[in-house]
Structure 1
Amino acid sequence: MNTHTLSAALVTNRAPLNFRRAGAWLLGVLLLGAAWNRAPAADEPFDFETLRYRARMLAAKPYVAPASRVPEWLLKLSYDEHRRIRFDPAHSWWRRERLPFELQFFHPGFIIKNTVQISEIRRGEPTLIKFDPELFIYDRLERGEIPGTMGFAGFKILYPMNKPGDELGAFQGASYFRLLCQKAIYGLSARGLALNTAEPGGEEFPTFTDFWIERPEPHAKSITLYALLDSPSVAGAYRFVITPGADTVAHVKAALFFRKQVTTVGLAPLTSMFWHGENTNTQTDDFRPEVHDSDGLMLFTGAGEWLWRPVTNPTAVRVAAFSDERPRGFGLLQRDRNFENYQDLEAAYHSRPSAWVEPIGNWGAGSVRLVEIPTPDETNDNIVAFWTPRDVPPVGEPLVYEYRLHWFTEQIHPPAGYTVSTRHGRTKTHEPELERFHLDFAGPYLNNQSADPAIEPVVTVGDGAKLAHATVQKNPFNGTWRVAFAIRPDGSGRPVELRCFLRKSPHVLTETWSYLWQP
């Protein structure tokens, strides 16, 4: 796999954070230290340290791929046959007790041959939830024998965010999970861990093999669950404390123990889909103007810079690395919330959530990596973003870290202006050899500001092209500010890094727009 690795330089001319959770920003401690060596006593309640010890013991042994417990007749089901197996809502876990959260389980079969074991924790004591066919509706399928030890394909969490029976989230497949906030539908996914993403030799997908879920109290506003992760290279312990709302927040704590050195460790990975949008002009024969779960990567660096990188559907795999130290946040966002720009009543891409990673403590030096993979349609997740630390502990030493993972539709924005659209193309009549970019910036100050000649665009063009000209003007129709600039390629065919922000000296008025133009 040929990838083009980029390095995005950082600047330090950004305003301080102005976020509704700023008072809680950077709480906690990132611990990169010695392993916890004491085995838990038999009568101690189950908690994160119990699971951390189990992960450490697991990593000390050679990896053993789990054998499938799924009967052959289930694996021979067709896609449509497997879909006919449905969880019976009447058997939702904790429904009879009228608890605020409920669980439903996914049935193995078809291509799902690996299962997870799920336990309920009550007063610190875990009890396995055994697979029971009575939990499911088989819709006239001829049912074969099913062992009680089979386990489940995953589970979903219900919570009345908008109305009773709403889905809060689901954990299913490898270490993937998705959460929802109020007024949102499922979109991008998160993962527990990414290993060797876009590296030669292929990616390794660690798997959550076991879950423990605390029984919620009658008036609980959060639900806590634990997960054991395993793969050929690493074993890990995870704790999720999930609080639903307009901003659904998962407080994640993890401890990783590596069996061997890994080329690329991806912490807090996010996975999304981008087929086409306003910044692409490829022919798709699609009736919808835009189709994507996320339209950009946003970063808030340790140096105080806000940066926006529109994502795209490239012609070849691309990897961008944004070097940083003590990162304050990053995420894949769906900024465009205008239905008119999607025209899809079924998929409702304008209602897909954004996800934002808020590190807790000092994550040290490393980089946020953005991987963009070509996709021919909307059925493939082709965008990945994660933090890769510069220094990973040696084999046997723990990597312990924490973060808050926000899911929302009401956007997190920089305190100053931000990019609302990116358009790219050429003209056929005037200077057709130039590549042209039109960027629209918005924000409270900019939208209320009348035309001002002191506001200027600052455009930086990397190797492979030269800036031909740049202008900025107030858009009288919607209050935004449009930067129009053109670059002249040097004919080398090299990808060109572009950056732009608005300035009214000495003040920076917007985030930094960052883009890779591929000849």
Structure 2
Amino acid sequence: MVTRRDLLTYTSFSMALAALGFTPEVFAAQRLKLGSESPFSYDALVQRAKESAAKPYHAPAQVAESALANINYDVYRKIIYNPDYALFNTGVSRFPVTFFSVNSLHRTPVKMSVVENNHTREIIQSIDYFTFPDNAHGVSPDLKGNVFSGFRILENQQLLKKHSEKDWVSFIGASYFRAVGEQGQFGLSARGIAINTVLGDTQEEFPEFTHFWFETPQEDSNQLVVYALLDGPSICGAYRFVLQRTKGVVMDVDCSLFLRQDVGRLGIAPQTSMFWFSKMAKGSASDWRPEVHDSDGLAMWTGKGEHIWRPLNNPLQVRVSAFNDNNPRGFGLLQKDRDFKSYLGSVGYERRPDLWIEPKGEWGEGAVQLVEIPTDDEIYDNIVAMWVPKQEAKAGSEHQFSYRLHWLADEPYPSTLARCGSTRLGRGGNPGAYPDPDARKFIVEYRGEVLDVLPADAKPEAVIWASRGTIEGVKVEKAPGGQGNWRAVFDLHVEGKEPVELRLFLKEGDKTLSETWMYQYLPFRSSPRPLQGI
């Protein structure tokens, strides 16, 4: 189980520079120091990763716990990186870069360098680049040398001076990173790689970005290019990120991966999110809010052109679902419900970004794999989605992937067919009649122009498949309320506790009307938690 407290919470400082009363004049005039110059290219970085993978792995040195004794959570959240030491804080750059300090949860220092004209210079790190609150009681004299644990990219030079916590991209913790969507809210995270995620008794591995290189941007450029070296016991890799600030955030990623050891589950373009409960999948008195989740479903666009929507579950035991494909066109974890009334909290779940992965080139055969882990709190990231190639990940093998990450409010290439909306689940049978204890009623909503223009006498048909059990009482109708929604209704009769895979789409004659709804029904949830859905 990976907690967002462990890997992500420290990326948001709650105290702005202005609130502390500092002005630029307070800080020393000295700027960020750089080391000696050496040649740099992405090709050379790839070669470096390849050569490193052929050698035994040596874990990077960590800062001693004793040196971080005074930097607890309350202190860390108030630490300010001095704007005068920000990277690209002068000149024509739109996006200044500041850095996170090491702390009790991120004890591994990360090297940082600047690239210009195919040459690089490493940043000389110092704890003196940070301003500590009064209750820090001084900094340990042992806290020397490299002290950066990650970085954040700010929106502009003005925010650097006034609101230094207003970043649009941050990298911190192993190979984790995240970005705001077009609604200006952080949410789910991405990773450079996933190694053996919930694979039987095999321990999951978390390779780390050990060194970043920042390419000096061109005048008024809306993008920033960042290179990274990833290293871990089983893998070494080179990455190139082109980070663009659009209405949301777009990231182009190229990576070359070299394996030191066999990997049972190699997760490409992994994303990590949180799904605790929805209105219809809520434990008794577990929380006062109607829903708590960063994402409510997995969307996929297959190589054959089918659009699929799979609502998420919070299962009672770890579940891994594989959706086989060949040359996928895209996939991602989405937050479809954008209504504040669905959440009612103050943390902006209705504004959490979608993250869509768009493969570049042909990825071949494999599967989009969805991992759902039980959780009883919103602090845990319990959902993982990733591409797992069919090709075995053997020691000595090489893998190259290119893809684009879209951090938006909706998937960038939505289906022209009717799209899935809410999923409801309740007791089977007819309203007012005695319920059938072995049946569950499903209501799946659809909405789209293709349904709006149907003639008055049209009779859409629901095409339903279940891996086991019996389907009865199927009907398709316009939902009441005048919202333009249609809904498919059916009962599933099933015995036993094994999961049931369901598949549904709408058609009229030979014409497909909707994207495909897929769901994993968990019968053992029928008691003591009788209702579930999204």
- The TM-score range, normalised by the shorter chain, is 0.7 to 0.9
Aligned residue number for residue 24 of structure 2: none
Number of the residue aligned with 2:450: 445
- The separation in 1 between residues aligned to 2:142 and 2:38, in whole angstroms, is 34
Task: Tell whether 2:256 aligns with 1:262.
Answer: no
Aligned in 2, Cα 1:452/1:229: closer, same or farther, shift over 3 Å?
Answer: farther
Secondary structure at 2:331's aligned position in 1? strand
Range with bigger deviation, 230-239 or 81-90:
81-90
Identity %, equivalent residues: 39
Deviation at 1:245, TM superposition (A): 1.0
Work out whether residues 183 and 248 of structure 2, in 8 Å CA contact, stay in contact via their aligned partners in 1. Answer: no
Asked if structure 1 preserves the Cα contact closer than 8 Å seen for 2:214 and 2:225, the reply is yes
Letter paired with 2:435: E
Equivalent pair of 2:93/2:218 in contact (CA under 8 Å): yes
SS of residue in 1 equivalent to 2:133:
coil
Instruction: State how far apart, in whole Å, the 1-side matches of 2:102 and 2:267 are.
Output: 28
Tell me whether 235-244 or 428-437 shows the greater mean CA deviation. Answer: 428-437
The question of whether the paired residues in 2 share the 8 Å contact of 1:71 and 1:146 is answered with no
User: Is residue 56 of structure 1 aligned with residue 60 of structure 2?
Assistant: no
Contact 1:279 1:312 in 2 (8 A): no
How do 1:35-184 and structure 2 match up within 5 A? 45-70=39-64, 72-75=66-69, 77-140=71-134, 141=136, 142-145=138-141, 148-160=144-156, 166-184=166-184
What displacement does 1:221 show? 1.4
User: 1-side partners of 2:86 and 2:521: how far apart?
Assistant: 50
| Residue 376 (structure 2) aligns with | 376
Deviation at 1:147, TM superposition (A): 5.0
8 Å contact from structure 1 (residues 181, 244) kept in 2:
no
The two structures have a TM-score, normalised by structure 1, of 0.87
Residues 1:259 and 1:411: Cα distance change in structure 2 (over 3 Å): closer
* CA distance in 2: counterparts of 1:424 and 1:89, whole angstroms: 53
Displacement of 1:160 after TM fit? 4.5
Q: Which residue does 1:516 correspond to in 2? A: 520
Higher RCO (C-alpha 8 Å, min separation 6): 1
Q: CA deviation at 1:470?
A: 1.1
Note the C-alpha offset of 1:264: 0.6
Counterpart residue number, 2:506 = 502
| Cα separation, partners in 2 of 1:429 and 1:223, compared to 1, 3 Å | same
CA shift digits 1:72-125 (9 cap, x unpaired): 231453322332322234543222325201101101122221121111112221
1:364 aligned onto 2:359 = no
Stretch deviating more after TM superposition (451-460 or 297-306): 451-460
Q: CA deviation at 1:410?
A: 3.8
Unmatched segments (≥5 aa) in structure 1: 2-41
Name the counterpart of 2:353: 353
Aligned partner (choices 481, 487, 492) of residue 486 of structure 2: 481
Distance 2:247 2:454 in 1: 30
Report the alpha carbon displacement of residue 66 of structure 1 after superposing the two structures with TM.
Answer: 1.2
Equivalence for 1:461: 466
- CA-CA distance at 1:342 after TM superposition: 1.3
Give the distance between the partners of 1:452 and 1:106, measured in 2 at CA: 62
* Partner SS state of residue 369, structure 1: strand
Mark the runs of 5 or more structure 2 residues left unpaired by the alignment.
2-35, 524-534
Report what 2:334 is aligned to.
Answer: 333
CA pair 146-185 structure 1, distance change in 2 beyond 3 A:
farther
Cα distance, 1:363–1:284 mapped onto 2, change above 3 Å? farther
Note the 1:182-331 alignment, pairs <5 A: 182-200=182-200, 201-331=202-332
Deviation, structure 1 residue 161: 12
What is the aligned partner in structure 2 of residue 16 from structure 1? none
SS in 2 for 1:198: coil
Aligned-partner SS, 1:294? coil
- Cα deviation code 1:357-378 (max 9, x no counterpart): 1111110101010000011011
- The yes-or-no answer on 1:472 pairing with 2:466 is no
CA 1:457/1:505 → structure 2, altered by over 3 Å: closer, same or farther? same
Q: Contact 1:69–1:149 at 8 Å: present in 2 too? A: no
User: Compared with structure 1, are the counterparts of its residues 228 and 417 closer, same or farther at alpha carbon in structure 2 (3 Å cutoff)?
Assistant: same
Q: Is the 8 A contact 1:168 1:179 kept in 2?
A: yes
* Contact kept? 1:162, 1:182, Cα under 8 Å: no
More moved, 317-326 vs 103-112: 103-112
Is the Cα contact below 8 Å between 1:236 and 1:255 reproduced in 2? yes
Q: Which moved more, 1:265-274 or 1:284-293?
A: 284-293
C-alpha separation between the residues in 1 aligned to 2:156 and 2:180? 11
SS at match of 1:99: coil
Q: How far apart are the structure 2 equivalents of 1:135 and 1:48?
A: 29
Partner Cα distance (2:455, 2:70) in 1: 66
Offset at residue 283 of structure 1 (A)? 2.3
Report if aligned partners of 1:70, 1:109 keep a CA contact under 8 Å in 2: no
Separation in 2 of the partners of 1:258 and 1:283? 46
TM-score by length of 2: 0.85
Q: Deviations over 1:402-443 (max 9, x none)?
A: 001111014442121111101112168433321111111011
User: 1:460, CA displacement in angstroms?
Assistant: 1.1
Q: Residues of 2 paired with 1:163 and 1:506: CA distance?
A: 56
Q: For the residues of structure 2 that align with 1:126 and 1:81, how far apart are their CA atoms?
A: 34
Distance 1:54 1:380, change over 3 A: same
Query: 1:329 Cα deviation (Å)?
Result: 0.6
Q: Which moved more, 1:138-147 or 1:304-313?
A: 138-147
Looking at structure 1, the residues matched to 156 and 436 of structure 2 have their Cα atoms a distance apart, in angstroms, of 55
Q: 1:284 to 1:230 in 2, by over 3 A?
A: farther
Partner Cα distance (2:332, 2:211) in 1 = 27
What amino acid does structure 2 have at the position aligned with 1:356?
Answer: W
8 Å Cα contact 1:184/1:409 also seen in 2:
no
Between the aligned partners of 1:187 and 1:162, the Cα distance in structure 2 is 24
Mean Cα displacement is larger for which, 189-198 or 397-406? 397-406
Tell me, in whole angstroms, the C-alpha distance in 2 between the residues paired with 1:230 and 1:496.
39
Partner of 1:28 in structure 2? none
Cα-Cα RMSD: 2.2
C-alpha distance in structure 2 between counterparts of 1:397 and 1:278, whole Å: 46
- Describe the SS at the equivalent of 1:426: strand
Deviation at 1:234, TM superposition (A): 0.6
C-alpha separation in 2, matches of 1:281 and 1:429: 25
The answer (yes or no) to whether the contact 1:278–1:423 under 8 Å persists in 2 is: no
SS in 2 for 1:54: helix
Q: Distance in 2 between matches of 1:284 and 1:116?
A: 43
Choose the corresponding residue for 2:436, options 432, 452, 459. Answer: 432
Change (3 A) 1:107 1:294: same
Question: How far apart in 1 are the matches of 2:454 and 2:184?
Answer: 32
